[in-house]
Amino acid sequence: MRLDGRAFVLPVCLIILAEIGARAGGPSDSIAPPSEVLVAFVGALADGSLLLATRDTLASAFGGLAIGGAIGLALGILLGSVGALNRLMEVTLELIRPIPSVALAPVALVALGFGYRLEIAIVAYASTWPVLLLTRSAVAGVEPRLIEVAQALRLSFPARVAKIIVPAALPRIFVAFRLAAGFALIVAVTIEIAINPLGLGAGLMTAGQALRPELMLAYLLWIGIVGFALNILLVFAQQRLFGRAALVGDIR
Amino acid sequence: MIEPFREAFMNRISQSAARPWARLFLSAVALAAFSVPARAQTKIAIGCTATSDCASAMVAVDQGIFTKHGLDAQMVRIGINSTIPAAILSDSIQIGGPTESVFLQAVDGGLDLVAVEGASRMDPIANEAVAAFARNGTTLKEAKDFVGKKVGAPGIGAFLQVLFVKWLVEKGVDPKSVNFVEVTFPTMSDTLKSGAVDAVLTAEPFVTRMTKAGTGYVAAHYAAELARTEPIISYVAARAYAEKNPEAIANFRAAIAEAADIVNNDREKASVSIANFTKQPLEIVRLNRPNLAAPELKSDQLAWWLDVMKQQNLLQSQIDPSKLVFP
C-alpha cells in the first residue's frame, strides 16, 4: 500500500485547527490541545502503561477473532456446501445474528467475570458473523464445474473442502477475516469502555474520569493507530503470505 | 487449624529424638514445614468506581491495614457503578462499592446481595458539594424553574438524580415535567457550554472547576437543602460469600473501621490514596474533603432509601430492610 504525501495535508490542517480551537475554548475536562495530547502520549508510551493496555486489548481481540473466525469458517463452509442444512439453519441464524455483541456484556459478566475470558467470548461472538456469512456466500458461489470435477474424482467431503472449495473461495474468506479483525478491535475496546477493567478502553475511561482529557485523547489516537496498523498487517499478509490465490481485485 | 498439629509435632521431636543428629534433622524439617505464617492471608478483590467514597478501602490497602488484619486485598477500578452487582455475582470481586440506589435496585431485581459495612454517608460538607449547575443564559433559582428544562445526570436512577427528584417532589414539582438525560462527569462542562442541556447534577471538584471556567452557576444546592445523613455507598458482598467467609468479613470490617479514622482525620493520607486509585492529579484531589467515611451501617439508614426509591417507582418488590445488612 503506497501513501500519497498529499493525503497528510487535511489531517495536519485539522490538527492545527484543533490546537487553536482547544486553546481558544478555555479549560475543558473532555477536550485538550493536540500538543498536550502528544506529551501525554509520549509519557504513557514511556511508562509502559500504553503498551501494557495494548497487549491486553490485542490479546483479547485476537483470541476472540481466532475462536469466532474458526467457528464462522467451519459453519460457513458447512452451510455453503450443504444447501439443505443452510435452509434449515436460516431462521435460527437470522434470529441470533441481530443481537448486538455489547448487549451480551451484562449477562457475560455474571457468567464469566472480569478479564480476558469475558472479552474473548464477546469478541468471538461478534467476529463469527462476518466470517460465517461471507464464507457461506463464497463457498456457495464456487464455480459449479469445480464441484462437478470434485464429484467426478470422487473426492471425500474433507478433500473437496481442502482441494476445491477453500482455494476457490480464499480471496473472499480473506476479506471476511479482514472485516472481522476490524470488528474484533472495535468490540474489544467497546467492552473495555463499558464493562471490562483492562486494556485500551479501560485506560481511556480511567483517563477521562481522572480529569486527564489529554491522556484520554492520547489513548483514542493510539487506538486509531493500532487499527490502522492492524489493517496494514492484514493487507500485507493477504498480498505476500498467501500467494496469488488470496488476491482479488484492488485490496487497500 | 495448623497450630495443634505443629504443637504435637514439636513435642514428638523433643520426646523421641534422643540422638543429636536426629533432633537436628527433625528440627530442620519442622522449621521448613512451619516457617509459613500461622494464618494465611485471605485474598479479596474490592471493586469501586473512581470516587472518594471508597477512600477507607483505598487507605486500608495503601497503609497495610488489610494485611494487618489477615486480608490480601486488591482494589479493582470499575468504570460504571451499575456493573458492580454483576461483578460481585461473577466472583470477579468479592466486595464492591455500589451506590445505595444501585445496591437496592440490584436486590429488587433478585440478586442476593448484602451490605457488610458502610463506606460513606451524607453530611453537611458532602451535601454542600452537590449541586444542580446551570449554564449561562438560563435563570434557574428554584425547583419550579426546572420545569420543561433538560437536566443532565450522571445516570438515570443514580444517587445524584434520585436525590434531585426527591428535592423536586418536596418542593411540589412533578419530576415528569423535567427532561433528564445522561451526561458523564468529565463531559458536563462541555455539554453545558454547547447548550445541549440547561443544567447538570454534579458534585465537587466539577462545581468549582466549572464555576472557575465561567461555564455557568450553581442553581441549587439541593442535597444541602434535603440535609440527609443516610449512606451514599456501602461495601456489598454476595450473601453466600459473606455467610461462607464470616472471618474475612469480620477482618474486613475491622480494617475499614481503622482506615475510616484515617480518612476522616488525616486528609493528606486520604488524598494520596484517592489519587493513587482514581489516577486523578493529587492537587485536584486535595482541593476537596473526601466524603465522610462511615463504617457503621444500620438497616434503618437503608429504609429511607427504600422509601424514596419506591416513591420514584424505582423499586417493584417488597424489600425487608433488616435483611440488607449482614449481621
Backbone angles phi, psi at B218, to 5 degrees: -80, 115
> Contacts by B257-263 with C-beta closer than 8 Å and gap 24+?
B257/B295, B258/B60, B258/B65, B258/B69, B259/B56, B259/B57, B259/B59, B259/B60, B259/B63, B259/B65, B259/B293, B260/B56, B260/B293, B260/B294, B260/B295, B262/B59, B262/B63, B263/B55, B263/B56, B263/B59, B263/B290, B263/B293
Chain A positions in Cβ-Cβ contact with residue B185 (cut-off 8 Å) = 29, 209
Peptide bond into B205 cis (omega under 30): yes
Angle, helices A49-81/A213-236, rounded to nearest 10 degrees = 40
Backbone angles phi, psi at B121, to 5 degrees: -140, 165
Q: Are A57 and A201 in contact (CB under 8 A)?
A: yes
Interface test with A, best of B90, B204, B211 (most A CBs within 10 A): B90
Q: What is the pLDDT of residue B3?
A: 43
**Tens place of pLDDT for every residue, chain B, 327 residues?**
444 444 444 444 444 444 555 555 545 544 444 444 445 688 999 999 988 999 999 999 999 999 999 999 999 999 888 899 999 999 999 999 999 999 999 999 999 999 999 999 999 999 999 999 999 999 999 999 999 999 999 988 888 999 999 999 999 999 999 999 999 888 898 899 999 999 999 998 889 888 988 889 999 999 999 999 999 999 999 999 999 999 999 999 999 999 999 999 999 999 999 999 998 889 889 988 899 999 999 888 899 999 999 989 899 998 998 899 999
Q: Are B235 and B115 in contact (CB under 8 A)?
A: yes
Count interface pairs A-B at CB distance under 8 A.
89
Which structural domains are found in chain A, ordered by start?
48-141+169-246 (1.10.3720.10)
- Contact with chain A for residue B218, Cβ under 8 A: no
Angle, helices A116-140/A105-112, rounded to nearest 10 degrees = 120
How far is it, in rounded angstroms, from Cα A82 to Cα B188? 55
Compute the nearest-CA separation of B193 from chain A (Å).
Answer: 10
Which structural domains are found in chain B, ordered by start?
42-122+230-323 (3.40.190.10), 125-226 (3.40.190.10)
How far, rounded to the nearest angstrom, does the alpha carbon of residue B313 sit from its chain's CA centroid? 24
Compute the nearest-CA separation of A26 from chain B (Å).
Answer: 7
How far, rounded to the nearest angstrom, does the alpha carbon of residue B212 sit from its chain's CA centroid? 29
Tens-digit pLDDT profile for residues A138-149: 888 888 888 888
Q: Are A153 and A170 in contact (CB under 8 A)?
A: no
Q: Per the CB < 8 Å rule, is A193 touching B79?
A: yes
Chain B positions in Cβ-Cβ contact with residue A209 (cut-off 8 Å) = 49-50, 79, 185-186, 278-280
Angle, helices A49-81/A34-46, rounded to nearest 10 degrees = 90
Q: What is the DSSP letter of A156?
A: -
* pLDDT for A245 beyond 70: no
How far, rounded to the nearest angstrom, does the alpha carbon of residue B250 sit from its chain's CA centroid? 18
One DSSP character per residue, B182-224 reads: E--GGGHHHHHHHTS-SEEEEETTHHHHHHHTTSEEEEE-HHH
Strand-by-strand arrangement of the B231-238 sheet? B71-77, B42-48, B95-96, B231-238, B113-121
Please name the amino acid found at residue A246.
Answer: A
pTM greater than 0.90? no
- Contact with chain A for residue B80, Cβ under 8 A: yes
How far, rounded to the nearest angstrom, does the alpha carbon of residue A153 sit from its chain's CA centroid? 39
One DSSP character per residue, A206-227 reads: HHHHTT-HHHHHHHHHHHHHHH
Q: Which residues of A touch B (CB under 8 A)?
A: 25-31, 106, 109-115, 193-195, 197, 202, 205-213, 216
Q: What is the pLDDT of residue A24?
A: 82
Compute the nearest-CA separation of A227 from chain B (Å).
Answer: 23
Grid coordinates representing A109 are: 459478566
- Residue A44's nearest CA partner among A35, A31, A53 is A53
C-alpha distance from residue B183 to each of A103, B10, B300 (Å): 20, 65, 32
Q: Which residues have CB under 8 Å from B206's CB, separation 6+?
A: A29, B133, B185, B188, B189
Tens-digit pLDDT profile for residues A199-230: 999 999 999 888 888 999 999 999 999 998 98
Tell me the ipTM for this assembly: 0.75
- Residue B78's nearest CA partner among B90, B66, B69 is B90
Which residues is B217 bridged to in the sheet?
A: B134
* pLDDT for A197 beyond 70: yes
Chain B positions in Cβ-Cβ contact with residue A194 (cut-off 8 Å) = 79-80, 83
How far is it, in rounded angstroms, from Cα B245 to Cα B257? 18
| B243 three-class SS | helix
Q: What is the pLDDT of residue A2?
A: 64
Grid coordinates representing B255 are: 480494617
- Contact with chain A for residue B303, Cβ under 8 A: no
| Strands annotated E in B17-137 | 42-48, 71-77, 95-96, 113-121, 130-135
| B49 three-class SS | coil
How far, rounded to the nearest angstrom, does the alpha carbon of residue B274 sit from its chain's CA centroid? 12
Residue B152 host element (H or E): strand B150-153
Q: Which residues of B272-294 are buried (b: 16+ CB within 10 A; e: fewer)?
A: bbbbbbbbbeeebbbebbbbbbb
Tens-digit pLDDT profile for residues A44-74: 999 999 999 999 999 999 999 999 999 999 9
Do the strands B130-135 and B95-96 form a parallel or antiparallel pair, or are they unpaired? unpaired
How far is it, in rounded angstroms, from Cα A188 to Cα A102? 10
- Residue B69's nearest CA partner among B193, B240, B194, B250 is B250
For cell 460465517, what's the residue? Answer: A132
Q: What is the pLDDT of residue B37?
A: 47
Q: Residue B68: left (phi > 0), alpha (psi -120 to 50), or beta?
A: alpha
Residue A155 has a CB neighbour count (10 Å cut-off) of: 16
Q: Are A80 and A147 in contact (CB under 8 A)?
A: no
Strand-by-strand arrangement of the B130-135 sheet? B179-182, B150-153, B199-203, B130-135, B216-220
Interface test with B, best of A23, A30, A104, A216 (most B CBs within 10 A): A30
Chain B positions in Cβ-Cβ contact with residue A195 (cut-off 8 Å) = 79-80, 83
- Residue B158's nearest CA partner among B124, B212, B207, B200 is B200
Residue B321 host element (H or E): none
Computed over every residue of chain A, the mean pLDDT equals 88
Q: Per the CB < 8 Å rule, is A28 touching B77?
A: no
